[in-house]
A and B are shown apart, each in its own frame.
Chain A
Amino acid sequence: DAGVIQSPRHEVTEMGQEVTLRCKPISGHDYLFWYRQTMMRGLELLIYFNNNVPIDDSGMPEDRFSAKMPNASFSTLKIQPSEPRDSAVYFCASSSSSGTFNEQFFGPGTRLTVL
């Protein structure tokens, strides 16, 4: 398996622009997670899905953030409008409820810079 795939790997945009991050989870996994990592706040869970249904979005910082999972093989995280404080590395991870160790597999991340 190719692992979790994220695109783009790097994104530089200007304040006020819309940003869309994409994620393809590992085939067969029924959980998908979006995290944000910064030096100040560490690794924060933003939202997660189970069988394409959002279960908990309490970590989404503001209404500017939205996430969708239209099918089992694709998810997006959108920021509109973007602000400099959104600069961070955004990770997507997936896991299987049938896994033994509750292991989450992380994608390589998208490094977002908002100028």
Chain B
Amino acid sequence: GQSLEQPSEVTAVEGAIVQINCTYQTSGFYGLSWYQQHDGGAPTFLSYNALDGLEETGRFSSFLSRSDSYGYLLLQELQMKDSASYFCAVKAGGYNKLIFGAGTRLAVHP
């Protein structure tokens, strides 16, 4: 089977850095994605890692270690608008199917 684990909640203050971890168990791993979802909204794509290493996009970075079946999303210079749920998702087959984790709710405080 396939499973993903990520923390259910994270709290941080404005301007800080927060890391959201994701571990996965799957067969036929192709890549790890991250999505952001604000309350009442739809998930939106943040990043995708197919190879080991760090991918940086502005204030957000994503890391993957295939050997450890582990990845993380790093959010820097936190802003109030970053308060949302963050989902890791694995592509585990030849099709574009994704399996989503349960999500991490990030609360950013002043």
Sorting the interface of chain B by its residue count into under 10, 10 to 19, 20 to 34 or 35 or more gives 20 to 34
Q: A45-B99, A45-B100, A104-B96 are in contact. List 19 more A-B contacts (CB 8 A).
A: A42-B101, A43-B43, A43-B100, A45-B97, A48-B95, A48-B96, A50-B95, A91-B43, A93-B43, A101-B47, A102-B30, A103-B33, A103-B45, A103-B48, A104-B43, A104-B98, A106-B42, A106-B43, A106-B44
Q: What per-residue 1/0 map shows which CB atoms of A72-115 lie under 8 Å from chain B?
A: 00000000000000000001010101000111111111000000
- A55 within 8 Å of B by Cβ? yes
**Could you tell me which residues of chain A, from 41 to 67, have a CB within 8 Å of some CB in chain B?**
42-43, 45, 48, 50, 55-56
A107 vs chain B, min Cβ distance (A): 6
A41 to B96, CA, bound (A): 22
Residue from the list A43, A56, A97, A108 in contact with B87, Cβ < 8 A:
A43
Sorting the interface of chain A by its residue count into under 10, 10 to 19, 20 to 34 or 35 or more gives 20 to 34
Show the binding face of B for A, using Cβ within 8 Å: 30-31, 33, 41-45, 47-48, 87, 91, 95-103
Show the binding face of A for B, using Cβ within 8 Å: 31, 33, 42-43, 45, 48, 50, 55-56, 91, 93, 95, 97, 101-109
B9 vs chain A, min Cβ distance (A): 13
**12 A-B residue pairings within 8 Å (CB atoms):** A31-B96, A42-B102, A45-B100, A48-B96, A50-B96, A91-B42, A95-B96, A101-B47, A102-B30, A104-B43, A105-B45, A107-B42
Determine if B96 and A101 form an interchain contact, defined as CB atoms under 8 angstroms apart: no
Residues of A within 8 A of B100 (CB): 42-43, 45
Determine if B96 and A97 form an interchain contact, defined as CB atoms under 8 angstroms apart: yes
Q: Which residue of A lies closest to B97 (CB)?
A: A48
Q: Which residue of B lies closest to A6 (CB)?
A: B42
